[in-house]
């Protein structure tokens, strides 16, 4: 993996180079979960280099995540801690632009880990290849990495392992930039600078929202009362997905059943959380299935 010539479209736009990265984790929430594998592939005019390491998260890896990426507790026992890996990773990426598939998740894990380690964030621009795929290839049945790789014949041998996913994301971004929608791809896929997260002071989860931890882990439907949006001040059914740090503050990311859209809800604007009984959950899931089938 050292021939950069196949990434000519990418290097024409990013002449200094670019880094594709991917993480495997114990779950989807950076505010709760831990990184267990970190990989990055750097492309410059000098060649292609790889950074890849397993990481001991100091906690047990849940079975449901092992079922996805195949990484077990015994695989990470004795591996470096994240505090040892971050300085090496920072040196590897420098201040080059970064890309990742579903970048808000990868960036969220990196910046929250850096905050916990009191590690200085860099100025790197961050792009999302999901958004790049939507901009360049709107005809795709969906923009999951596995689907896009298959449709575009991109290399993806071991899906849900960090190096393979990072490589597939790199090829995807390169292909998106080789078309006639370069400006749109760059505009739509740009997310933020890592240093933008300095605005977020990462306050601890308020006591009244502690219930979100278990609800996010189980992704059980809840009602939230939210100070904002078209349903302002009223309860709305949400299927929680993750607790994420963002530059403007920490958020709950989840599926809103009122709109059938994945949305971000500022934790500071969640006024109340109502846990649902079995009958209410069954009814909400019925509604969710009906909404999903109508829009699939």
| Domain assignment present for 234 | yes
Q: Residues 69, 126: one domain?
A: yes
So what's the pLDDT on residue 278? 74
Residue 85's pLDDT is 96
Q: In the listed set 196, 219, 242, which residue is the last one of a domain according to the structure?
A: 196
14 and 147 inside one domain: yes
For residue range 224-239, list pLDDT tens digits in order. 999 987 788 889 989 9
Q: What is the pLDDT of residues 7-52, one digit of tens each?
A: 999 999 999 999 999 999 999 999 999 999 999 999 999 999 999 9
254 and 139, same structural domain? no
CATH number of the domain at 283, please: 2.30.30
- Identify whether residues 192 and 122 lie together within a single domain: yes
On whether residue 107 sits in a domain, the answer given is yes
Both 169 and 259 in one domain: the answer is no
Q: Are 57 and 69 within 8 A, CB to CB? A: no
Q: Residue 182: inside a domain, yes or no?
A: yes
CB atoms within 10 A of CB 263: 16
Of the residues 177, 196, 215, the one at which a domain ends = 196
| pLDDT, position 292 | 53
Q: Are residues 164 and 60 in the same domain?
A: yes
Q: Which domain holds residue 122?
A: 4-196
The pLDDT value given to residue 220: 86
Query: 178 and 212 in one domain?
Result: no
Q: What pLDDT does 197 receive?
A: 94
Q: Are 164 and 146 in contact (CB under 8 A)?
A: no
φ, ψ for residue 123 (rounded to 5)? -95, 10
Catalytic residue among 69, 101, 160, 171: 160
Q: Are residues 29 and 99 in the same domain?
A: yes
Whether residue 228 is contained in a domain is answered as yes
Does the residue 201 lie in any domain?
no
The mean pLDDT of the chain is: 92
How large is the C-alpha radius of gyration of the chain?
A: 20
In a shared domain, residues 162 and 50:
yes
User: What is the percent of the chain where pLDDT is above 70?
Assistant: 95
Does the active-site annotation cover 160?
A: yes
Backbone φ and ψ for 41, nearest 5 degrees, come out as: -120, 120
Residues 142 and 264 in one domain: no
117 and 137 part of one domain: yes
Q: Are residues 188 and 232 in the same domain?
A: no
CATH of the domain at 9: 3.30.420.10
Residue 290 in this model has a pLDDT that exceeds 80: no
Total count of domains within the chain:
2
- Banded model confidence at residue 259, pLDDT cuts 50, 70, 90: confident
Residue 23 in domain: yes
Query: Would 231 be classed as within a structural domain?
Result: yes
pLDDT at 62 over 60: yes
End-of-domain residue from the set 161, 196, 231:
196
Taken as a whole, the chain contains a residue count of 296
Q: What are phi and psi of 53, to 5 degrees?
A: -155, 145
Task: For strands 261-266 and 235-246, give the pairing.
Answer: unpaired
Domain assignment present for residue 202? The answer is no
Q: Is the pLDDT of residue 158 over 60?
A: yes
Q: Provide the H-helix boundaries in the chain.
A: 8-13, 63-69, 73-76, 82-93, 103-116, 129-136, 145-152, 162-176, 182-189, 211-218, 278-295
């Amino acid at each position: 993996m050292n021939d950069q010539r196949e990434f000519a479209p990418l290097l024409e736009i990013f002449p200094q180079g670019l880094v594709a990265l991917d993480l495997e984790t114990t779950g989807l929430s950076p505010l709760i979960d831990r990184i267990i594998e970190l990989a990055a592939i750097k492309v410059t005019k000098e060649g292609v280099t790889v950074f890849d390491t397993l990481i001991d998260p100091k906690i047990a890896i849940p079975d449901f995540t092992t079922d996805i990426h195949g990484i077990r507790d015994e695989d990470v026992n004795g591996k470096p801690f994240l505090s040892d890996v971050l300085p090496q990773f920072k040196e590897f990426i420098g201040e080059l632009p970064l890309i990742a598939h579903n970048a808000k998740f990868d960036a969220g894990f990196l910046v929250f880990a850096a905050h916990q380690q009191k590690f200085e964030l860099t100025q790197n621009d961050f792009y999302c290849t999901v958004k790049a795929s939507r901009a360049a290839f709107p005809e795709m049945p969906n923009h999951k990495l596995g689907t896009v790789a298959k449709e575009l014949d991109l290399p993806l041998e071991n899906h849900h392992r960090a190096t393979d996913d990072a490589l597939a994301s790199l090829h995807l971004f390169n292909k998106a930039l080789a078309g006639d929608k370069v400006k749109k791809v760059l505009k739509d896929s740009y997310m933020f600078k890592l240093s933008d997260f300095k605005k977020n002071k990462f306050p601890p989860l308020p006591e009244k929202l502690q219930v979100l931890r278990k609800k996010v882990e189980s992704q059980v439907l809840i009602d939230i009362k939210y100070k904002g949006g078209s349903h302002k001040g009223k309860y709305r059914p949400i299927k929680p997905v993750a607790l994420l740090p963002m530059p403007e503050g920490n958020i709950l990311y989840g599926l809103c059943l009122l709109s059938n859209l994945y949305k971000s809800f500022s934790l500071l604007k969640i006024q109340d959380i109502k846990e649902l009984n079995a009958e209410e959950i069954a009814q909400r899931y019925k509604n969710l299935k009906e909404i999903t089938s109508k829009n699939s």
